[in-house]
Structure 1
Amino acid sequence: MDARWIGLGSSCILVAIWLVAYGFPQGEIAVSLVSIAAALQLIIGYQTGKQMDQLRQLAYHDSLTGVLVNRRFLERLDQEVDLARRGKYPVTLLFLDLDNFKKFNDKHGHIEGDKLLYRFAQILQSCVGKEDLVGRWGGEEFVVLLDHCDTKAGLAAGEQIQNQIRHHLGGLTVSIGVATYPTHASDSGELTLMADNLMYEAKKKKDCILAASN
């Protein structure tokens, strides 16, 4: 739930408790003073919740690209795999790595390299649905979790990402590993390891996408 409304609700409860404990004010001045105090309490509660939301946003999202940080992505991955287990539907994990990113950085500098990573993250987000997850694994490695998606659909999404990268990032390419729960893994840990290993194999060839076999 949005922390702003939690803060506002908590303030309402505090105001109600105060009124019950001390009674409703009598007289016009007293009513005005209590009304002002109550309004200030509500504002404080709302603003405190807003600040908590902002801090949570910073903690959960990569400061450069805006996608989920590694730790938060892993937490969400565990949750989504658990939901998939209970709902008996597949989810597919993509590990992605920009090919020759170090050479790009060495040639153009780290500032341009950071811009490239930001654009890469934007492309990933544009290629997946709102219910899907995009995270930064580390450096130029990113991860995508496709909800209610089998391997065939995961490969199609990966190929679309590859086409967009070639078109929008000046000829750069991306290598991708694809694995699906429960087809290729029994839990989130196995799924992560499988997709990661496949990505490293794909990276040996460059501009390659490899999926786990059934």
Structure 2
Amino acid sequence: MDSRWIFMGVPCLMILTWLALCILHNEQMPMMVVVLVALVQIAVGYRLGQYVNRLRQMAYYDSLTGVLVNRRFLDRLIREINQAKNQQYPLTLLFIDLDNFKQFNDSHGHMAGDRLLCQFASILQANVQSRDTVGRWGGEEFVVLLKHTDTNEALAVGTRIQEQVRHALSGVTVSIGVASYPMHAATAEELTHKADTLMYEAKKKKDCMIVATH
């Protein structure tokens, strides 16, 4: 929920309570004073809400790419697995690393590297649905959680990502590790470990996608 509404709503409730008490005790308050106090309280609440929203944005989302930071992504993964367990549906995790990113940085500079990371994050977000989650695990490593998605469906998503990266990102490619719940892992920790391990295997070949088999 947007914190601005919370911080604006609280003073409104306080003012209404204050007015009710004044009426109850037959106390008269000039309407102009009531309106002025209400406007000041609402304005202060709005600004406090904005500040809290900015703090939340900084804590939850990567400042460069705008996707979830790894800690928050892991929290989301734990919740989603619990929900998938209760409702009995699959989900699949993609661990993705940009190949040759260091060489790109060395050749084009870190600012160009930052722009490329932002482009890549946009490609990931364009290839998932609103129910899915994209995160930055660290450096040039990203993660994608696909809800209600089995391994074969996730492979199609991974293939699209690989193709778009080849065409859009100046010689950079991606290596992907793919693992699904409940087929390949029973917990968030197991799922991340398996997909991460497979991604490192894929990086040995580069521009490769490896899927868990058990």
Superposition map of 1:155-174 within 5 A: 155-174=155-174
Identify unmatched segments of 5+ residues in structure 1.
none
Counterpart residue number, 1:47: 47
Check the 8 A contact 1:97/1:199 in 2, yes or no. Answer: yes
Deviates more, 1:13-22 or 1:183-192: 13-22
Q: How many residues align?
A: 212
Counterpart residue number, 1:127: 127
Secondary structure, aligned partner of 1:171? coil
Secondary structure, aligned partner of 2:62? coil
Deviates more, 1:58-67 or 1:160-169: 58-67
**RMSD of Structure 2 on Structure 1 (CA):** 1.4
TM-score by length of 1: 0.94
Check the 8 A contact 1:174/1:208 in 2, yes or no. Answer: yes
Secondary structure, aligned partner of 1:178? strand
Percent of matched pairs sharing the same residue = 57
The whole-number CA distance in structure 1 between the counterparts of 2:123 and 2:105 is 19
Return the offset for 1:25: 5.5
Counterpart residue number, 2:98: 98
Counterpart residue number, 1:200: 200
Counterpart residue number, 1:209: 209
Secondary structure, aligned partner of 1:75? helix
The whole-number CA distance in structure 2 between the counterparts of 1:88 and 1:42 is 45
Give the counterpart letter for 1:72 in structure 2: R
Counterpart residue number, 1:175: 175
Counterpart residue number, 2:12: 12
The whole-number CA distance in structure 2 between the counterparts of 1:167 and 1:100 is 15
Runs of 4+ in 1 over 4 A off after TM superposition: none
Return the offset for 1:26: 2.6
Check the 8 A contact 1:97/1:142 in 2, yes or no. Answer: yes
Give the counterpart letter for 1:26 in structure 2: Q
TM-score by length of 2: 0.94
The whole-number CA distance in structure 2 between the counterparts of 1:213 and 1:130 is 28
Counterpart residue number, 1:80: 80
Identify unmatched segments of 5+ residues in structure 2.
none
Check the 8 A contact 2:22/2:28 in 1, yes or no. Answer: no
